[in-house]
Chains A and B, each alone.
Chain A
Amino acid sequence: MSSALLWAPLAFGLLGLFLPRRAVGPWAVLGALVTLGLAIAIVAGFESGSSGMQYAVDEPWISGLGVDYSLGVDGLNLFLVLLTAVLWVGGVAFAALREQERPKNFYFLMLVAETATLGAFLAQDLLLFVLFFDLMLVPFYFLFGAWGYDRSGEGGPTASAATLKMIVYTLIGSLLMLVAAIATAILAADGGDITFSISELAQQPLGEGSQRWIFWFFAAAFLVKMPAFLLHGWMPDAYRAAPLPVLVVFSGVLAKVGAYGFLRVVLPVFPDATVEFQEAILLIALASILYGSVMAFTQTNVRLIAGYSSVAQLGFITVGIFALRADGADGAVLQMVNHGLVVAPILIIVALLLERTGSEDIREMGGLAMRAPVLAALFLIVALATLAMPGSANFVGEFYILNGLFQEKIVFAFVAITGVAMSAYYALRLYQQTMHNRPASQQGPGLLSREIGIRDGLVLAPLVLCILALSLYPQLILERTAPTVEKTVAKVHRGESPEAQLANMTIEEKRELESGNLELVP
């Protein structure tokens, strides 16, 4: 099942190369839909309440190097897999409703990207993870570079220059991670059999000295991907260059691979370093929240507002993970899904606004709600979810994250929560400046705006429905993810004092402790 899910998009992508030009778009949509069907089947069959790996596939691959073809689904990646499948349907369908240049290549690359992303989420072998993590970059490099926007007319970089910048940033991170992964396996083997299996590596953590530097190598890769404060230099150019349907999936999913990497790899394999550098990462994340929010409310380009708001949101997610408490991390996992579900529709709406007004600058928009009330209503729901309006699932995520942080480091929580107030301002400003007020000139494009079409509506409305459904019942995600998340977090504290261990234990573990199956490490 995991394998079928993983390779389905690639298979569709390859077959699409042999179809006539006009058929590839619908074919790619079908491919994404089939993948979504598989992902839904996995979620439906997922046994909630269990913290173990499900749908596991584990075959030796390169046995000499100890690399396994090992996939699996647990609470950490279950909904990220589903999110990937959902957003790819949205992105591909939105693209398919429009004319694309060189459609065969375009859709092939889109579907390759989906496989690579699913691979990064599903991989349970460290080297496989690194491989997919790097592979993700390749299709996006071509998609951004060849189908992107040339901004040299506006004083910005060309599409390929912007893409190059992104690649340089991420490659440096990736190479560090590759080195770190190999070093981890070799050091862990200590002369014995090498293995890259994440669960086995987590059994025997490395010495503290090695953990220290390897931690930062991984952290660098993940923080660039998110992107975190000071490592986000590639983001503005890349966001402006990217073709919007591609940016939908890129912004919606890829950033989460970084946050996911912390939960999947860093916390279990480098627990001591995680505890040691907790505050350092928290500081970076706080800076991301504040800086991203401040930037988001000064920008006038809609893409950049979305981009910087993502920096802030990913900051919240990182804070949740590094609160190193079950509630914070639960919130972080929930928020990864939530953020993907709001940023994707926002970018689709940006594309619709661009088509209607010919501009991406909010100063040149306004008053669109009049002719497009349905579009405005959908946008309003998304904007409110973005600012984590209480009642939305985003609020639940943020509430869990901040509660975790509050109980762990109260001062940090007070700083982080200012980001909440700022998000209210920038998200609402984005909505208000485009949909309300008067257009820059009374006869401006705003007055000529038109309602969202039925076909675009069919792409956008399901995403908005997902937001609404999750808002009514965020428990859907929490109850399935919580057991694994709690186990992951509890393990980090294994090396600490018995009191700290006890405080961070899952209920399951406490029961085992009472029955004598488990002992505290002195």
Chain B
Amino acid sequence: MSATTWAWLVLLFPLLGSIVIALGYRALPRKAAGAFGTLSIALAFACGIAATVSLLGDDPHSRHHASSLWDYASAAGLDIKLGIFVDPLSLFMVLVVTGVSTLIHLYSYGYMQSDEGYHRFFSYLNFFVFSMLLLVLAGNFVLLIVGWAFVGFASYALISFWYRRETATKAGMKAFVINVVGDIGLVLAAFLIFRELGSFDYGEVFEKAPEAFATNEWTIVAICLLLLVGAFAKSAQLPLHTWLPDAMEGPTPVSSLIHAATMVTAGVYLIARTHVLFELAPTAADVAAFVGLATLLVAATMALVMTDLKRAIAYSTMSQIGYMVMGVSIGAYSAGMFHLMTHAFFKALLFMAAGSIIAAMANDQNIDKMSGFGRAMRFTSIAFVCGALALAAFPGTSGFFSKDEILAFAEARGGMYLVFTVLGYVGALLTAVYAFRLVFRVLPGTPCKEAQELIETGHVAHETPKNPATGEPEDTDVGFPGSEHHIAEQNWPMRAAMGVLAVLALVGGLVQIPGVDDVIGKFLEPVFEESPLAHIHPSLAQDYVGLGIGGVIALLGIGIAYLLYVKQPERPRQLEQRLRPLHTLFVNKWYFDELIDVLVVRPALAVGRFADRVFERFVVDGLVSGTAETVRGAGGVVRTVQSGFVRSYALLLIAGFAGLALYFLLTGS
């Protein structure tokens, strides 16, 4: 079978899984639903591999295929087909997405066991995977927007999965609305592309663009900036990032899959996919790179001070995506995609491990209350450390190779781009510190109450769980896990998922060692063969100097964290005191939420209130319908006349109509 046929199957299985599980919410037993959901994703992964094998059989220069099922909406010169585009880039994403998703489904199979909404969860999760695959396989901008919006919806549905929790539904709404803003950016970009090139189709657009646009012409810059609005909203880049930390309200497997490994990287994929356009608009590409850089630094500072375990990891996600956005924007395409893959491994792993600790803590995510889990949950702790090592770019781990590849490229490109290398290393130092801050605060030390209970009895049981944000008791009827907690270590599917990811997080970088092998670079090469930027390669010396610096920085960061959180635990407090303004800024998340509130939310609500209370009452009802009100006020006489008039008009109409009809029937012509 051809690569495109396999790709259609990749799309089919998750969709089928989602529909079957949704329809069978009463008939299917729990285990069957979970198994079915996991199996459908595993099958999609298998088909993805088959598609890749089939594609590798082609000549490198013709490794791109388009295929379409039917005319989706074609009229008036808009030619929109239900079509996909298969090339190494889209298949790379397919493999990462389905591979990691399979493991997270497996994890969820155990993790969500005590949840009342088990079927709903798997149906949504399958739908998410389908949407994400649609996003990466789409063959034109319209279908891309469809996939883009579908993942946004899936994200909304899963963030507000525990829908009786008001904090969760609010967070879901926030994520959805910000993502719609991103969708609008994409839609406008599509309109502008259509205006200039007369097509939405990838193949046609990328072929025509170089002839149609001069470098940095305003239209192409505008197109790219609009695409970036979409990319930033989805990938939580400044200033459209505020939904991501709140999204941690969802169940932990969701944070792991959607808000760490896959969906949030869509913006990176988009920039890589449309690199032809971005190379024609270097200004826009530079904007993207600087936003990525700013995000990676700002988010790292927030990750340093967050006391909420999942939110701290979420800020770390933002920061790491900042690296990727920076990478693909400066032309380090395969390096950016490589980091996307390794990040998917280690970040999914970190979330899984965090989830298992949070489950033991009855959904309390505050790290101030955690300690001593190293002894209580050995397997989880090892997994957590593996993830943290990779995140901190410890020499030899996956993150070590991928992060450095981006920074080395920036160095090789030279000039202004050296800024990215230098500040990238600053970010790397912060990363190592915050990663091991989490490790040192949660794992060692005297066990907290829950950890102690776990060590002594081997399980934890709590009273009714409470929402840590509001203190309300959780509503266990609608699916919030009850007092029985599933500890990751005691459940083989969760262990298997974490185990595999831990290995990948450690050794996943070995496919791309400078001077030794270049698996991902070679695989993606055909996609970027026409790009002048993709032909910039750092020299081997540059690579190894970079790796050396990176390794030292990682060790330094871990050392600092050790010093601050193990050796001298009182030091962080002192630092907070001394750097009070800075700390306040970080803890308050740089006041982005407040800024958006003042600039957007409040004015909109004020306008709404004005429209409702003043305009509607005095202008619409007062002026225009002055007839009805004032006439009625003027006296009963007029009213009877008026309503009498209406009634007789109505009767007259019926009578007249009947008469005319009769006339017509009788004359019969």
In the assembly, what is the distance between CA of A317 and CA of B649, in Å?
31
B184 within 8 A of A: yes
In the assembly, what is the distance between CA of A400 and CA of B608, in Å?
28
In the assembly, what is the distance between CA of A429 and CA of B183, in Å?
19
Given contacts A298-B608, A391-B146, A474-B73, contact A230 B624 (CB under 8 A): yes
Residue of A whose beta carbon sits closest to that of B80: A396
A135 and B624 contacting across the interface, CB-CB below 8 Å: no
A424 and B191 contacting across the interface, CB-CB below 8 Å: no
- For the A-B complex, the count of residue pairs with Cβ-Cβ distances under 8 Å equals 184
Given contacts A421-B177, A421-B184, A474-B72, contact A168 B627 (CB under 8 A): yes
- Choose from A142, A167, A298, A482 the contact partner of B76 (Cβ within 8 Å): A482
Taking CB atoms and an 8 Å cut-off, the chain A residues in 77-119 that contact chain B are: none
Taking CB atoms and an 8 Å cut-off, the chain A residues in 448-504 that contact chain B are: 473-475, 478-479, 481-482, 485-486
Q: Which residues of B contact A60 (CB under 8 A)?
A: 669
Partner-contacting stretch, out of B147-155, B387-395, B513-521: B147-155
Residue of A whose beta carbon sits closest to that of B22: A377
Taking CB atoms and an 8 Å cut-off, the chain A residues in 304-340 that contact chain B are: 325-327, 330
B575 within 8 A of A: no
B181 and A436 contacting across the interface, CB-CB below 8 Å: no
Residue of B whose beta carbon sits closest to that of A328: B76
A234 and B646 contacting across the interface, CB-CB below 8 Å: no
B191 and A413 contacting across the interface, CB-CB below 8 Å: yes
**How far is the CB of A505 from the nearest CB of chain B, in Å?**
11
A59 and B669 contacting across the interface, CB-CB below 8 Å: yes
Q: Which residues of A contact B164 (CB under 8 A)?
A: 367, 370, 436-438
Partner-contacting stretch, out of A24-32, A199-207, A274-282, A402-410: A402-410
A138 within 8 A of B: yes
A417 and B184 contacting across the interface, CB-CB below 8 Å: yes
Q: Which residues of B contact A403 (CB under 8 A)?
A: 78, 191, 194
In the assembly, what is the distance between CA of A294 and CA of B194, in Å?
30
A299 and B612 contacting across the interface, CB-CB below 8 Å: yes
- Listed residue (B78, B183, B605) with the most chain A CB atoms within 10 angstroms of its CB: B78
B181 and A421 contacting across the interface, CB-CB below 8 Å: yes
In the assembly, what is the distance between CA of A437 and CA of B160, in Å?
9
A351 within 8 A of B: no
B76 and A165 contacting across the interface, CB-CB below 8 Å: no
Q: Which residues of B contact A479 (CB under 8 A)?
A: 71, 74-75
**How far is the CB of A238 from the nearest CB of chain B, in Å?**
12
B532 within 8 A of A: no
In the assembly, what is the distance between CA of A365 and CA of B391, in Å?
45
Given contacts A62-B660, A138-B650, A233-B625, contact A326 B77 (CB under 8 A): yes
In the assembly, what is the distance between CA of A58 and CA of B397, in Å?
81
Main secondary structure of the interface of A (DSSP, over half): helix
In the assembly, what is the distance between CA of A159 and CA of B594, in Å?
45
A232 within 8 A of B: yes
A428 within 8 A of B: yes
Given contacts A138-B653, A233-B621, A295-B608, contact A402 B145 (CB under 8 A): no
Contact indicator per residue, chain B 259-278, by CB within 8 Å of chain A (1) or not (0): 00000000000000000000
Taking CB atoms and an 8 Å cut-off, the chain B residues in 45-72 that contact chain A are: 70-72
A69 within 8 A of B: yes
B663 and A62 contacting across the interface, CB-CB below 8 Å: yes
In the assembly, what is the distance between CA of A475 and CA of B80, in Å?
10
Residue of B whose beta carbon sits closest to that of A157: B628
Q: Which residues of B contact A297 (CB under 8 A)?
A: 608
A294 and B607 contacting across the interface, CB-CB below 8 Å: yes
Residues of A within 8 Å of B, CB-based: how many?
A: 77
Q: Which residues of B contact A486 (CB under 8 A)?
A: 76
Residue of B whose beta carbon sits closest to that of A132: B657
Q: Which residues of A contact B142 (CB under 8 A)?
A: 390, 399
**How far is the CB of B271 from the nearest CB of chain A, in Å?**
20
- Choose from A69, A232, A299, A420 the contact partner of B184 (Cβ within 8 Å): A420
Contact indicator per residue, chain B 603-614, by CB within 8 Å of chain A (1) or not (0): 011011101100
A421 and B180 contacting across the interface, CB-CB below 8 Å: yes
Residue of A whose beta carbon sits closest to that of B664: A61
A432 within 8 A of B: yes
A294 and B611 contacting across the interface, CB-CB below 8 Å: yes
Given contacts A326-B77, A420-B184, contact A370 B643 (CB under 8 A): no
Q: Which residues of B contact A373 (CB under 8 A)?
A: 25, 120
B478 within 8 A of A: yes
Given contacts A233-B625, A390-B183, A420-B184, contact A475 B191 (CB under 8 A): no
**How far is the CB of B497 from the nearest CB of chain A, in Å?**
28
**How far is the CB of A396 from the nearest CB of chain B, in Å?**
5
B169 within 8 A of A: yes
**How far is the CB of B507 from the nearest CB of chain A, in Å?**
39
A141 within 8 A of B: yes
Q: Which residues of B contact A475 (CB under 8 A)?
A: 70-74
A147 within 8 A of B: no
Residue of B whose beta carbon sits closest to that of A420: B184
In the assembly, what is the distance between CA of A399 and CA of B664, in Å?
45
Contact indicator per residue, chain B 148-186, by CB within 8 Å of chain A (1) or not (0): 111001001000100110100100110011001101100
A131 within 8 A of B: yes
- Choose from B191, B609, B657 the contact partner of A135 (Cβ within 8 Å): B657
A169 within 8 A of B: yes
In the assembly, what is the distance between CA of A387 and CA of B153, in Å?
12
In the assembly, what is the distance between CA of A421 and CA of B653, in Å?
43
A164 within 8 A of B: yes
B616 and A428 contacting across the interface, CB-CB below 8 Å: no
- Of all A-B residue pairs in the complex, the 6 with the closest CB atoms, nearest first, are A390-B149, A326-B76, A298-B608, A436-B163, A482-B75, A233-B625
Contact surface of A with B, Cβ cutoff 8 Å:
59-62, 69, 131, 134-135, 137-138, 141-142, 160, 164-165, 167-169, 171, 230-234, 236, 291, 294-295, 297-299, 325-327, 330, 367, 369-370, 373, 377, 384, 387, 389-391, 395-396, 399-400, 402-403, 406-407, 413-414, 417, 420-422, 424-425, 428-429, 432, 435-438, 473-475, 478-479, 481-482, 485-486
23 A-B contacts (beta carbon < 8 Å): A168-B628, A230-B620, A230-B624, A294-B604, A295-B611, A298-B611, A327-B77, A370-B478, A373-B120, A389-B149, A390-B149, A391-B149, A400-B76, A413-B191, A417-B187, A420-B184, A424-B180, A436-B164, A437-B164, A475-B73, A475-B74, A479-B74, A479-B75
